A = this chain, B = another copy of it.
Amino acid sequence: MATVFKALGDPVRLRLLFLIASRPSGEVCVCELTPAFNLSQPTISHHLKLLRQAGLVDSERRGTWVYYRVRPETANRMSALLAGVSGERTPV
């Protein structure tokens, strides 16, 4: 559980997650994610791996490209968890 939050606790990974989540298609090719950062491609790959290990995203290879998508269950579970911490007094 701390693993998931730890995965979220990095600006690059947060941006990656938002980029992936913001797509109407629900998925993004790594080839689109990499140029969005001033970081080497191995670094992006590493961050994506952490997001994947945390259960926040999923990846699928199609031909030469790899596509990432959000796993809503995990995001929802964490969201509910935080809502619980806030005391159930303040409905969103």
Which residues of A are interface residues toward B (Cβ below 8 A)? 1-3, 5-11, 14, 17-18, 21, 26, 70, 72-73, 75-76, 78-87, 89-92
Contacts and interface: CB of A to CB of B under 8 A. Distances in A.
A7 B2 CA distance: 10
A75 to B, nearest CB: 4
Main secondary structure of the interface of A (DSSP, over half): helix
A74 to B, nearest CB: 8
In the A-B complex, the 7 residue pairs with the closest CB atoms: A6-B9, A75-B86, A5-B8, A79-B82, A72-B86, A5-B9, A9-B9
B70 A76 contact: no
Contacts of A72: 86-87, 89-90
